[in-house]
Structure 1
Amino acid sequence: MILRSLFLLVTFTSAHAQLPSNAERAETLLRAVNTHLYNPETRLYLETSNRKKNENPHTYLWGMCGLVQATNELESVQKGRSYMQPVINAINEYYDTKPPAPGYDSYVVREKGGDRFYDDNQWIAIAYFDAYTRTKQAVFLTRAKEIYAFMMTGFDEVSGGGLYWKEGDKTTKNTCSNGPGILVAIQMYEATRKKAYLDTALLLYRWTNRMLQAPSGLYWDAIKPMQGNKVDSALYTYNTGTMLESNVKLYTITHDKHYLEEAQRLAAASLTHFFRNGRFPASYWFNAVLLRGYEALYKIDGNRKYINAMQQDADLVWEKERDANNLVGRRADKDLLGQAGMMEIYARLARIK
């Protein structure tokens, strides 16, 4: 009996020890992306792993928004290694200098270009600000400042303020363009210490809470200004994530406990609503943005509850939703954005102690 117990213990310990770490999982995903979702001839990335079914030869910008943040997080974990540059080079192919301000098109400019979405641009700015904070390379700050200028062309006083979602489209103002807009403005303040940027962040913050926050504390998707501010009441993890992180950053800057208490309220509400039967929803990248908020809050209050929930879900993704090519997802065709989302999640979890 003793020998059998020892055998089982050794077997369990060995199997457990062989599980890849979060950092190893992130690197494995990046290798899989470079193998199955990258065209080395054009040096651009693909929308999904099914090249025959893809709408275009290359991915829309949204996938790149996820990948640039994920590779930044990987570089922060794996010191001295370079992952971002090929992604940055690819993103540069979406850059468009057309008026009223330079920004990034939704598709490769030299092929056909596309609309410019304020949120796509904001996600890139956030990644570049994070890279600037980490590396102090001026090019990241320069491009992020440029994106701030572009995003503010999407602001007006219709419906009392707020940023539109897409350039030239006055039909919708979304949490997904105002939440990250707050973060970009805060990061501008952190980089420059110019109060005008903090004022902008607070302006957008108050408007988003007034117009888009549900009684539960979570955030509706959008309002429709041309339809009497009709609410699109869909709830997504990433909208809570940006506002959660915004509250933490505002607390860090102002030391006003209201922001910390609100961040804690949002974290609790998000777990109650989104974490069902031990799982978050299947939109990996949306969950990565929520984890950004959880990580920011954890650094302040040390409560691992939300980190542990994300780790539980991430373990199940690796065990149950990974294919033979080491790509993840519940569908046969694996999308770039989903890979980037899980890559970021694993990299962040690797960094959190």
Structure 2
Amino acid sequence: MKHHFSAPSRRAVLVGGLAATAGWGLATTASTAHAAQVPSQALTKYARRARESYAALQRYFYDPQTSFYLEEYPHTGGNPWSYVWPFSQAMIATQDMAGLPEIGKRYTDDVADRYTALEAYWNAETDPPGYDSYLRPPAGHGGDKFYDDNEWNALGFIQRHYMTSGGDAAALRRAAEIFDLVVFGWDTDPSHPCPGGVFWTQAPWSNDRNTVSNAPGAEVGLHLYLATKDDHYLDWSIRMYEWVRTYMLAPNGLYWDHVDLAGNIEKTQWSYNQGTMIGAGVLLHRATGEQKYLDHARDTAAKALAFLAENERYFDQPARFHAIFFANLLQLSAVEPHPSYRKAMEWYADQSYARFRDHTTGLYRFTGDNPVTLLEQSGMIRIEAMLGWHTSQYPRLT
């Protein structure tokens, strides 16, 4: 059943049409080439590593004829191009490269190229519209919509808005369209165990409601609230945040993964779930001024860092999850600095570089000789690039 919500005129203006993207054009490798001309001694250790990791991403995964990425390298069959979730992380990794001092502007064309290519996943034929899990025809066969996939894209659009001089109204409008889709995904059946929450996907084979489909949704809504002061976004964000706090918060102070319609809770504690709840808490503090939300974020950060450090649990989870975790830690540090946040991030980056980076190719091989995934390479680029940012830039992260 479709859900309909009244909206004030301010919101109607925000979600009104997008600027045309047809004139953006396709990027070339020029930005990477220009970036390489900057002397290495002018860059920090992490900026140099990010530049090298990004060059490897473009060399082994990127197709300049289509602007699409491979899902893995080497490609071993199946769909020729990546699903939208890996693409979103490569897109945000490119944005993080554009934030690097000294060389960031050299990636401007690459950022525009990512957003042009992203539209090949957009399905305007559904109500509400959103990004399919795979490329739409003619490039691909489309696919089910996942609410978390769409939320990552929305957060990417919001980061693009923050990183654009004067802001990017079209990016905010697309983020608002995606938020409408997320609200549509709210479970309205009060008879369900753990009633409420945004479902993970529209696919018929899953009825899970996840931390990862609610906490990033709250982040999207809170960014939109801070931009518009429209209470619609704040009210829904609080509902999503409180659903996670009520049903997914474990006795150890960290967050479980999801619950199904039989009431079974999947209790894995992934780092990105902790990160998105940290980020949502920080944003709620900024939106409302209430100290309790900052206290939640600080408490989750301390417990997550201790949990991941114990027996090096970091390496039991993928880099793509840690990139999201660390991005949100840096947002917390912008409001309430603590040396442990960056220290943990540097330790993970240095250990990953020493243990898993193939110095011949610049690719990160976390699984030995198995194919390198777009998600893992993008995750490490994000981590390295964020470590190269100035602390004053952290509020631009999403």
TM-score, normalization: structure 2? 0.80
Q: Does 1:80 align with 2:105?
A: yes
Equivalent residue letter for 2:254: L
Contact 1:279-1:313 at 8 Å conserved across structures: no
CA distance in 1, matches of 2:212, 2:319: 16
CA distance in 2, matches of 1:54, 1:42: 18
What is the Cα deviation at residue 291 of structure 1? 0.5
| Corresponding residue number in structure 2 for 1:151 | 182
CA distance in 2, matches of 1:306, 1:234: 22
Q: Does 1:273 align with 2:311?
A: no
Contact 2:346-2:387 at 8 Å conserved across structures: yes
| Corresponding residue number in structure 2 for 1:240 | 274
| Corresponding residue number in structure 2 for 1:334 | 372
Give CA deviations for 1:118-149 in whole Å, capped at 9, x if unaligned: 00000000010111122112221121111111
* SS of aligned partner of 2:388: helix
Q: 1:186 aligns with which of 203, 218, 222?
A: 222
CA distance in 1, matches of 2:65, 2:104: 29
CA distance in 1, matches of 2:152, 2:43: 32
CA distance in 1, matches of 2:302, 2:212: 20
What aligned pairs does 1:261-340 form with structure 2 within 5 A after superposition?
Answer: 261-277=295-311, 280-281=314-315, 282-323=317-358, 324-331=360-367, 332=369, 333-340=371-378
* SS of aligned partner of 1:290: helix
Contact 2:225-2:287 at 8 Å conserved across structures: no
Gaps of 5+ in 2: 1-40, 392-398
RMSD of equivalent CA atoms: 1.8
Equivalent residue letter for 1:236: W
Q: Report which stretch shifted further, 76-85 or 210-219.
A: 76-85
CA distance in 2, matches of 1:88, 1:173: 28
| Corresponding residue number in structure 1 for 2:126 | 99
Equivalent residue letter for 1:340: S
Contact 1:103-1:147 at 8 Å conserved across structures: yes
Change in Cα spacing, 1:260 to 1:47, as seen in structure 2 (3 Å) is same
Equivalent residue letter for 2:354: E
What is the Cα deviation at residue 232 of structure 1? 0.8
Q: Report which stretch shifted further, 286-295 or 162-171.
A: 162-171
Give percent identity, aligned residues only.
31
Give CA deviations for 1:296-338 in whole Å, capped at 9, x if unaligned: 1111221010210111110111122111210113122110011
Gaps of 5+ in 1: 1-16
Equivalent residue letter for 1:303: H
Equivalent residue letter for 1:134: M
- What number of residue pairs does the alignment pair up? 334
Contact 2:52-2:362 at 8 Å conserved across structures: yes
What is the Cα deviation at residue 115 of structure 1? 0.9
Contact 2:201-2:207 at 8 Å conserved across structures: no
Q: Report which stretch shifted further, 251-260 or 119-128.
A: 251-260
CA distance in 2, matches of 1:103, 1:243: 23
| Corresponding residue number in structure 2 for 1:4 | none
* SS of aligned partner of 1:157: coil
Q: Does 1:344 align with 2:382?
A: yes
Contact 2:223-2:283 at 8 Å conserved across structures: no
Q: Report which stretch shifted further, 271-280 or 97-106.
A: 271-280
CA distance in 2, matches of 1:42, 1:224: 39
* SS of aligned partner of 1:269: helix
What is the Cα deviation at residue 80 of structure 1? 2.3
What is the Cα deviation at residue 157 of structure 1? 2.3
* SS of aligned partner of 1:351: coil
Q: Report which stretch shifted further, 80-89 or 337-346.
A: 80-89
CA distance in 2, matches of 1:338, 1:193: 36
Contact 1:152-1:163 at 8 Å conserved across structures: yes
Q: 2:49 aligns with which of 25, 33, 38?
A: 25
CA distance in 2, matches of 1:330, 1:168: 30
Q: 1:124 aligns with which of 148, 153, 159?
A: 153
Equivalent residue letter for 1:62: W
CA distance in 1, matches of 2:44, 2:200: 39
